[in-house]
Amino acid sequence: MTVGEIFLESLSTGVITEHEVDWLASHQTSFDRPEEAAAIRLGRLMDQGQINLGCRLPEPMLRHQEVLVDWIEPLGRRRRSNHHRAVA
């Protein structure tokens, strides 16, 4: 794990994990100036609420969620609304 990897992953997802924060805190004494600047920037982004402490869902889970929201749920709603019309 590197500061750069944590920085880019956090920026791209909007999430930093507790494990990553712990790693940053425990390794901060060995950071060079650019790494220190990146860690400080991450802290500021967290303070501003642009990066949140949490967990990242694995990519397959995200794709499943997209399918659920975009395809399965709407079809289910249509089916229920058609069923109510037929019963009424």
Per-residue pLDDT tens digits for 13-62? 899 999 999 999 999 999 999 999 999 999 999 999 999 999 877 666 65
Residues 69, 52, single domain; the answer is: no
Domain range holding 73?
57-88
Residues 36 and 10 in one domain: yes
Task: Judge if 44 and 11 occupy the same domain.
Answer: yes
Q: Are residues 13 and 25 in the same domain?
A: yes
Q: Do 78 and 63 share a structural domain?
A: yes
Neighbours of 64 (CB within 10 A): 13
pLDDT average, residue stretch 56-76: 64
* 45 and 18 within one domain: yes
pTM above 0.95, yes or no: no
> What is the DSSP secondary structure assignment for residue 57, as one 8-state letter?
P
